[in-house]
Chain A
């Protein structure tokens, strides 16, 4: 890429511009970019929207950002609310706010503190979440570490190590109002530890079922531990 020839695009206040190739793109205030953007750094403070795709080394959304198409980037940081119409492909995704993705999310590392909604599949090597999240398809990651906060829904989870923990409630008051539970159809992995999870089927080698779980069927290869406070309808060694 010939970066030297590229200019910057800055939208301050109310404005709109067409996309293209840029070095830095910064939207402060209410800015709209009408077409695709290809840049080295994309920043959106305020409520910006892009009616196209964004390709960039770094994308930062702090405020209220909307991208209609797909984002392809190295580092994706969300510190406010981000809405992505189609897919998000990134190396690292850090969300400390809310991110809604209309399509697939594919990354090497995903760290969420806040809320994550993915309509289709979510793939990563490392998935770490202390949050409220919902994934419409398969959550596929090598290492999954989740602290449940609020009501979480995933269709299927697959991976090597899967740890799902109940987050220690800071404010005991809210505990009774917000049901914190993970609802999932199927969990498959080599090492599985779950708490407070409602699942139809769990399959794995080493499986630990913690308190407050409601599981339909557990199939395990080597080891199974079930907490006294958990309900497991059926389990068998295969």
Chain B
């Protein structure tokens, strides 16, 4: 909670927007509910926002709304980024993926250098797990295979990715809508990752 807050009044002044616009964006879910922080002040209750995040978001909305409608914008900020397409260079530039991992991905994938959201997610997951050292390169390739085969499922449901090892043999599971799971003793879970959270992380990086 150390981040700097800005009151609604100051925000409107600073960003040069009206109450109508702010409430409209809130309705369209362009500004997440969690950013509306209520605090009591001497004049009663007031709403505050995390200053840096909200100013950045408003700037993005204002620059993008020239070529996109509000509904398209809402899609952009929502969990289902279906229309989004980025090139390899975009991803590298926005620090979503490092160059090494990108090369590994393109090597195994043999696809084009234009990425839709499924592929961005795949490469991001790979990046995350490889960089943290939780999995080996071979395991990474295996998990890419799993993700690719189940693209349709990954898009719609909340999935967890589990990499486990037993006696030096590793295996990869895609757990769909499960609450919990347990393994035989001696099985080690090398990595577990919620794809939903990954998707959100990517989006926050895109914004």
Kindly list chain A residues whose C-beta atoms are within 8 Å of the C-beta of B20.
Answer: 142, 159-161, 189-190
A202-217 near B? 1/0 per residue, CB < 8 Å: 0111000000000011
Is B9 located at the chain interface by the 8 A CB criterion?
yes
Return the CB mask of B68-109 against A: 1 if under 8 Å, else 0: 000000000000000000000000000000000000000000
Contact of A160 with B19 in the complex, beta carbons under 8 Å: yes
A124 proximity list for chain B (CB < 8 A): 27
A19 to B44, CA, bound (A): 48
A160 touching B23, Cβ below 8 Å = yes
Flag B1-43 by CB within 8 Å of A: 1 or 0 each: 0000000110000000011111110110000000000000001
CA distance A141 to B28 in the complex (A): 11
With A140-B26, A238-B9 in contact, is A189–B45 under 8 Å at CB? no
Q: A186-B45, A216-B44 are in contact. Are A203 and B19 (CB under 8 A)?
A: yes
Once A200-B44, A216-B44, A238-B9 are accepted as A-B contacts, the answer to whether A188 and B26 lie under 8 Å apart by CB is no
| A-B Cβ contacts below 8 A, count | 52
CB B25 to nearest CB in A, in angstroms, measures 10
Q: Give complex CA distance A123, B25 in Å.
A: 12
Please indicate the chain B residues that have their CB under 8 angstroms from the CB of A203 in the complex: 9, 19
Chain A residues near B26: list those with CB within 8 A. 140, 158
Minimum C-beta distance from B90 to chain A (A):
33
- Give A143's nearest chain B residue, CB to CB: B20
Closest residue of chain A to B28 (Cβ to Cβ) is A123
CB <8 Å contact, B43 and A189: no
Contacting pair A158 B44 (CB below 8 A): no
CB distance from A190 to the nearest CB of B (A): 5
Chain B residues closer than 8 Å to A230, beta-carbon distance: none
Given contacts A185-B45, A203-B9, contact A140 B18 (CB under 8 A): no
Residue of B nearest to A157 (CB): B23
The reply to whether A190 and B19 contact each other, CB–CB distance below 8 Å, is yes
- Contact of B23 with A205 in the complex, beta carbons under 8 Å: no
15 inter-chain pairs at a CB distance below 8 angstroms, sorted by A residue, are A124-B27, A140-B26, A142-B27, A158-B23, A159-B20, A160-B18, A160-B24, A188-B8, A188-B23, A189-B23, A190-B18, A190-B19, A200-B44, A205-B18, A219-B9
Closest A-B pairs by Cβ, 8 of them: A160-B20, A158-B23, A190-B20, A188-B19, A190-B18, A123-B27, A140-B23, A189-B19
Residues of A within 8 A of B (CB): 123-125, 140-142, 158-161, 185-186, 188-190, 200-201, 203-205, 216-217, 219, 238
